C-alpha cells in the first residue's frame, strides 16, 4: 500500500506560493511504525515562505509540522516514530529545523535519555593554555610566507604544514611554480583537508573547483588513507596493534568526547547525534626500545577490534613506568574531529602536550608549545589522472629524537 501524501500549500495569497506533494513514512500519522496509515488518511500542511529570508512559518504549534486533518487530535499529537522525525524535519527551513531539534533536546533532557560520555571533560588548566597557544599561532600565521611543498602539479599541491600555524595561512603562502600555469592568472585555491592548529604534516591544496569537489568527496567517503605519528606519555600498552571503535560527539559544554558504541545515533544536547569513529594503532617504541618501521598495508584486517562499551578503567602500572614515552602510529578509519587525540586519551596514554585531552603541559622541565601529533602520509587516487599516489612527509624533530634513541 503506498504511503499517504501531504499537499503543501500556502493559505495566504499575498505570500509566495509553494505547492508540493510529499510521501510520509509509515507511522507518521498513526504514531505506530508497525502500521501503515489508512489509505484515506490525508494531511495538509500550510507553509508561508518569505520572499527574502526564506523562513518557513507554520500556522500552529504542533510537533514538527502543522497538520490539518480528520484524524483524532490525540492521535495527531503523537510524535513521529523511528526516523520519521528526521525526515520531516529536513523539510523545514534552517531556523525552524533548529527549533525542532531544540524541542527534541528538551524532551530528551526531561526523560533523561541523553547518553553519557566515557571520556573526561577538559581540565580546568586547558583554557588558559589553549588561549595562549591560539594567540601565538595567530601571530605566526600572519607572517607565514612560504609553504613547504612536497608535490605539485597543475591541479593540486601537497604541502607540509608546520605545527602552530592555522591551515588557512597555507593558501597565501603557497609559492607560485611552473605547474600553476599562467602567472598572471591566480589559481582558485581550496583546502581539501584540514589539520588541527598544533598538528603538523601533509595537507592537500587544490587549484580548481572540480578537483576540490572530487577530493573533498574522497575524504568524506574515507577513500583517502592516512597515517599519523604521535608521541604519548602514560602507561605502556600491553598490545602491539589494536583497533578501537567508539562513539564520538560534542557534549553540552562544547567539548568533544568519546561515547560508547551502543550510543551511536542517539541525540545529544543541542540536537547533534553520536557518530561512530574507529582508529587502528600500532606501537613503534616505548622508552627508547623498539624499532621504527614503515606503515603496514592499509587493507590488512588482521587486527582484533575492541568496542568501547563503558568508561575506561583506571590505568594501574608501576610508578617507574606510568610516565613512559610511547611512539605510536595511528591509522584513522574515519575522519572525526580530534579522533586520534580522543582515542589516545581513552587508551591511557594521552599525546604529549595535548592539554585538552589529558596530556602533560610540561616535559623534562620545559613547557610544551603544542601537542606531538604529525600527519605522516596520504594515499589516494589522483582526481584527474586516476593513478594511485602516496605522499610521505619529513619526520618532525620530536619523532627523530625518539627514533634515534631506539637505534
Best CA proximity match to 169, nearest among 182, 159, 156: 159
In 265-354, alpha helices (H): 339-347
d(CA 147, CA 149) in angstroms, rounded, equals 6
d(CA 359, CA 347) in angstroms, rounded, equals 12
Please, are residues 389 and 379 in contact by the beta-carbon 8 Å criterion? Answer: yes
Give the chain's radius of gyration (CA, Å).
Answer: 26
d(CA 395, CA 375) in angstroms, rounded, equals 9
d(CA 363, CA 341) in angstroms, rounded, equals 18
- What phi and psi values does residue 170 have, to the nearest 5 degrees? -70, -25
d(CA 93, CA 98) in angstroms, rounded, equals 9
Best CA proximity match to 218, nearest among 335, 321, 359, 354: 335
Please, are residues 64 and 25 in contact by the beta-carbon 8 Å criterion? Answer: no
d(CA 79, CA 75) in angstroms, rounded, equals 9
Number of H helices and E strands in the chain, helices first, is 8, 20
Catalytic residue among 148, 196, 263, 401: 196
Please, are residues 44 and 9 in contact by the beta-carbon 8 Å criterion? Answer: yes
Task: Find the farthest-apart pair of alpha carbons in the chain and give their distance in angstroms, rounded.
Answer: 80
Known catalytic membership, residue 263: no
Please, are residues 150 and 303 in contact by the beta-carbon 8 Å criterion? Answer: no
Catalytic residues: 196
Amino acid at each position: 500500500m503506498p504511503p499517504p501524501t501531504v499537499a503543501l500549500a500556502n493559505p495566504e495569497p499575498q505570500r509566495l506560493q509553494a505547492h508540493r506533494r510529499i510521501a510520509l513514512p509509515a507511522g507518521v500519522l498513526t504514531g505506530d511504525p508497525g502500521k501503515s496509515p489508512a489509505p484515506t488518511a490525508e494531511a495538509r500542511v500550510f507553509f508561508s515562505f518569505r520572499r527574502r529570508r526564506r523562513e518557513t512559518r507554520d500556522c500552529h504549534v504542533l510537533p514538527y509540522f502543522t497538520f490539518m486533518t480528520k484524524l483524532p487530535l490525540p492521535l495527531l499529537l503523537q510524535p513521529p516514530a523511528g526516523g520519521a522525525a528526521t525526515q520531516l524535519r529536513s523539510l523545514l527551513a534552517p531556523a525552524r529545523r533548529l527549533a525542532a531539534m531544540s524541542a527534541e533536546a528538551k524532551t530528551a533532557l526531561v526523560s533523561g535519555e541523553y547518553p553519557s560520555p566515557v571520556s573526561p571533560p577538559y581540565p580546568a588548566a586547558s583554557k588558559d593554555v589553549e588561549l595562549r597557544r591560539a594567540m601565538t599561532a595567530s601571530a605566526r600565521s600572519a607572517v607565514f610566507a612560504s609553504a613547504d611543498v612536497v608535490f605539485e602539479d597543475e591541479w593540486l599541491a601537497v604541502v607540509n604544514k608546520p605545527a602552530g600555524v592555522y591551515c588557512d595561512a597555507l593558501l597565501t603562502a603557497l609559492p607560485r611554480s611552473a605547474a600553476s600555469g599562467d602567472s598572471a592568472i591566480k589559481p582558485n585555491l581550496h583546502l581539501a583537508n584540514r589539520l588541527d592548529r598544533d598538528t603538523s604534516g601533509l595537507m592537500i591544496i587544490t587549484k580548481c573547483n572540480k578537483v576540490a569537489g572530487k577530493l573533498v568527496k574522497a575524504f568524506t567517503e574515507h577513500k583517502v588513507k592516512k597515517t599519523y605519528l604521535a608521541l604519548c606519555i602514560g602507561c605502556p600498552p600491553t598490545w602491539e596493534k589494536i583497533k578501537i571503535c567508539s562513539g564520538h560527539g560534542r557534549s553540552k559544554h562544547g567539548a568533544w568526547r568519546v561515547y560508547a558504541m551502543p550510543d551511536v545515533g542517539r541525540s545529544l544536547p543541542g540536537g547533534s547525534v553520536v557518530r561512530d569513529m574507529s582508529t587502528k594503532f600500532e606501537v613503534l617504541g616505548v622508552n627508547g626500545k623498539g624499532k621504527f618501521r614503515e606503515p603496514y598495508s592499509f587493507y590488512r584486517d588482521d587486527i582484533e577490534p575492541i568496542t568501547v562499551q563503558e568508561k575506561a578503567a583506571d590505568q594501574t602500572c608501576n610508578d617507574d613506568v606510568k610516565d613512559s614515552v610511547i611512539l605510536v602510529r595511528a591509522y584513522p578509519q574515519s575522519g572525526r574531529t580530534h579522533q586520534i587525540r580522543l582515542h589516545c586519551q581513552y587508551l591511557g596514554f594521552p599525546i604529549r602536550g595535548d592539554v585538552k585531552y589529558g596530556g602533560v603541559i610540561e616535559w623534562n622541565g620545559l613547557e610544551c608549545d603544542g601537542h606531538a601529533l604529525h600527519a605522516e602520509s596520504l594515499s589516494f587516487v589522483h582526481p584527474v589522472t586516476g593513478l594511485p599516489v602516496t605522499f610521505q612527509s619529513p619526520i618532525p624533530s620530536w619523532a627523530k629524537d625518539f627514533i634515534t634513541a631506539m637505534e
